[in-house]
Structure 1
């Protein structure tokens, strides 16, 4: 530990013995550094904060969501630094006085893009806009004014884009949709004309609407339904015929003794047999029929005269039989008509196999054009309504929470800190140079170091003895050194004071 302490004392002594060299180097480095700091132009920054409220009850009613409105706001914010908008900034501020041609405008646009910041806060409706002006060819006051003008112009452009940009976009979209609707309308008219011509050419082939294939399928389905109805009607007619055959047309007369006549009894028995479902080949039916025939022949005119009045049940069944027969006839006629139409259409398809495909193609094209046309009409009305809501009702509320500030102090560089940094760097450079010179010279500050270097024991060392005149000279030189060192620090402090004075008068 003692050896380390001795080495430190030797190091400090070597630097102190070359203190004038260190001081000269420090002065040189500080002067060059302070000159460089003074050449750095001041940059003045102006800031502003705007608030854009995109929440609207009316927008929600027509389907404009908060996300869509925020996306529109983000699009305007991201395009705020486009070349077109920055050119408006250049020509709308004092920067226009420093340009003489398109090349200067392009250079100013590039510089502005590097020194303008547009940031969204945690609340995306809050937007901070800042701009820095650090033109070395302009005064501090001019740079401060330009920074404020740039931010104010950006606010104006931002507001204009939000309020009028929607109108421009809506107008362009409506013009495009009108053009597309007009084109689709002409195509739709042409397609409808072709469909009408085709329908006139094959009019009356099959009833109904739709393509030929659809009509044929509908006709086949109707024939199947008619077949089922026809089977039911025929069954009902057969049952009615059987019931009519078993019902007498007239009621039989009454016998003298108060009972029924033999002919009436025989007919009643025969009707009962037939009602039970016995056929004409049944032995009992055959016997009953013979008995009825014999009684009729025996009765003759007297039997006819004794016949009773017409049977009401027979007349009712006869009426129902006629109704069932008419239904069967109508269904048969309808089936024959549909079958004939199908046969005719089938013959057309055989003769002209492309008829069905042609109609399907015409209907398909017409349906597609009609769908597109209706969608374009709906889109145009929706865009018109949204545009009216956004631009006419003031749905977007634009507020400037913090107007563009006029900077009174440069935002960059931090010249006081740089001046102190240069002073520290100069002192360090002086000490470093003094230390390096001490290491390069071949002297031995202590007897122990000399003994280690030559490997021979050193008997002793002689201490320097200063005279009275030498002591006085050393004191005078110490005063000069202190004055030079203090002058360096005082000069740094003076430069810092001047910097603050310039900031106050900017």
Structure 2
């Protein structure tokens, strides 16, 4: 190459024409070598099966499937299972694949090669293709059919196993939740039984019982007060009877036409009035106190009147008065003993009522604590019951989904396009290889021509002289070569081009192998 030389398109075309044999011969040789190599490549056939994902035939509003994986995820999982060494080795043995390789290679290498011959491609969101490459078209079809059936069977088995596994898991969880719920129910029942009477639901009954007990105690106290008052009156009467002498009682004057009431009659009327007042008024009311005092006075007068009654015989008054007095003393003592017994019984009943009152108060005071403890237990019970109901609903849905998969009416893989017997090979693409070989040959020839031009320092034109020598050209003489020299140069060029082409073809063949 001459320094400073400018290469125009016209000059480049002249160079290409001058070195046309260096370009054409390598191009033809390389293209021919690639064509020959391509012709020796074995024909490869491919058979595909189009599989479509058919949704479940029962609407999901009624039965929701337990398989929630996307098609791509499930397809990837099933592909890993089918492309396992065990599955592929069984297919190789059943269909007698790779008989020549099985004689020279180990099974692991053959299985790895078979994985490369299998092609799985998702076409749309609801379909995918399963293909196999083989030198024999019938083998390609048979393997494609076998792989498609494996995908369908594996999908059904995986869905059924997943549904059954989900169902069994939920059943175990449901049984555990049921056990916890029963245990909590037993705890609540035991707590209610242990703290009977102190529960929040019994607070109103305890308050009512407390109020009733207080009223009973107050009524009993009032009754004992009346008994004690009566006891005092009787004690005073007994003392009077014991100390009294048998003297006649003075008789009050009576007006003409007036009815005279005896002391006993007045006593009966006073007692009736006292009872009426006690029903309406409190024991400490002044009217009640006054009536009691009046009854006591009339009782004393009645006792004296009874002692002053006359008899018919002379000795009878003394004996009758003494007998009446003693009888009266006995009656008073008997009534006092009866009152003592009544007061003792009422005191015992009061103690019992006060004990009941303490129990009611203790229950009422313990109710807030029991309410808090019971709230914790019932809160746990509510949580467990909600979890149990949720698991029960899920278990029922899972059971329906498992039945759906068992009856094979759930989501399924269905062959939409069965594997066919390929009529022509899909590989190698010989026209493409021919074009690549020709392009490679032309590229090699152009590169060789460029290399020769780079190494050539001869001056062929006036512009070459001016560019190289920087002088004015006075005249140019055309090149006149002898025929023998031209022939030798041509032969040398052809030999050089052929040698370079052969070397290039050899390198390409070695690389491709």
Query: 1:357/1:104 Cα in 2 relative to 1: closer, same or farther (>3 Å)?
Result: farther
Name which of 464, 484, 487 aligns with 1:449: 464
SS at the partner of 1:193?
helix
Query: 1:91/1:455 Cα in 2 relative to 1: closer, same or farther (>3 Å)?
Result: same
C-alpha separation between the residues in 2 aligned to 1:195 and 1:102?
67
Name which of 184, 187, 195 aligns with 1:194: 187
The equivalences for 1:325-340 within 5 A come to none
> Is 2:461 the counterpart of 1:462?
no
C-alpha separation between the residues in 1 aligned to 2:83 and 2:419?
18
> Is 2:388 the counterpart of 1:387?
no
> Is 2:339 the counterpart of 1:346?
no
Contact 1:148 1:404 in 2 (8 A): yes
The equivalences for 1:372-451 within 5 A come to 372-392=387-407, 394-396=409-411, 398-451=413-466
Which residue does the alignment assign to 1:361?
A: 376
C-alpha separation between the residues in 1 aligned to 2:376 and 2:98?
65
Which residue does the alignment assign to 2:133?
A: 133
C-alpha separation between the residues in 1 aligned to 2:427 and 2:170?
52
SS at the partner of 1:51?
strand
In structure 1, the gaps of 5 or more residues are: 135-139, 207-211, 227-337, 493-506
C-alpha RMSD of the superposition: 4.6
> Is 2:141 the counterpart of 1:148?
yes
C-alpha separation between the residues in 2 aligned to 1:40 and 1:151?
23
Contact 1:47 1:128 in 2 (8 A): no
Shift of 1:153: 3.2
C-alpha separation between the residues in 1 aligned to 2:62 and 2:7?
88
Structure ID, larger Rg? 2
Contact 1:53 1:397 in 2 (8 A): yes
Bigger shift: residues 29-38 or 451-460: 29-38
Which residue does the alignment assign to 2:90?
A: 91
Shift of 1:129: 0.7
Deviation per CA, 1:282-304, whole angstroms, max 9, x where unpaired?
xxxxxxxxxxxxxxxxxxxxxxx
Contact 2:67 2:163 in 1 (8 A): no
The equivalences for 1:68-83 within 5 A come to 73-83=71-81
Query: 1:154/1:458 Cα in 2 relative to 1: closer, same or farther (>3 Å)?
Result: same
C-alpha separation between the residues in 2 aligned to 1:129 and 1:348?
75
**Size of the alignment, in residue pairs?**
340
SS at the partner of 1:49?
strand
> Is 2:119 the counterpart of 1:119?
no
Contact 1:59 1:389 in 2 (8 A): no
Which residue does the alignment assign to 2:178?
A: 185
C-alpha separation between the residues in 1 aligned to 2:71 and 2:18?
70
Deviation per CA, 1:481-501, whole angstroms, max 9, x where unpaired?
8xx99xx9xxx9xxxxxxxxx
Contact 1:85 1:157 in 2 (8 A): no
C-alpha separation between the residues in 2 aligned to 1:101 and 1:393?
40
Contact 1:46 1:132 in 2 (8 A): yes
Shift of 1:89: 4.3
SS at the partner of 2:477?
coil
Query: 1:388/1:75 Cα in 2 relative to 1: closer, same or farther (>3 Å)?
Result: farther
SS at the partner of 2:49?
strand
C-alpha separation between the residues in 2 aligned to 1:466 and 1:189?
118
SS at the partner of 2:185?
helix
Higher relative contact order (CA 8 A, sep 6+): 2
C-alpha separation between the residues in 1 aligned to 2:114 and 2:173?
39
Bigger shift: residues 27-36 or 77-86: 27-36
Query: 1:86/1:407 Cα in 2 relative to 1: closer, same or farther (>3 Å)?
Result: farther
Shift of 1:440: 2.1
Which residue does the alignment assign to 2:253?
A: none
Deviation per CA, 1:324-356, whole angstroms, max 9, x where unpaired?
xxxxxxxxxxxxxx999863422445xxx8544
TM (norm. structure 1) is: 0.54
Which residue does the alignment assign to 1:54?
A: 55
Shift of 1:145: 4.8
Query: 1:109/1:171 Cα in 2 relative to 1: closer, same or farther (>3 Å)?
Result: farther
Shift of 1:55: 5.2
Contact 2:56 2:409 in 1 (8 A): no
TM (norm. structure 2) is: 0.54
C-alpha separation between the residues in 2 aligned to 1:441 and 1:339?
132
The equivalences for 1:242-261 within 5 A come to none
Shift of 1:365: 2.6
Which residue does the alignment assign to 1:312?
A: none
Shift of 1:422: 1.0
> Is 2:177 the counterpart of 1:176?
no
Contact 1:129 1:151 in 2 (8 A): no
The equivalences for 1:293-308 within 5 A come to none
C-alpha separation between the residues in 2 aligned to 1:377 and 1:448?
100
Shift of 1:105: 7.3
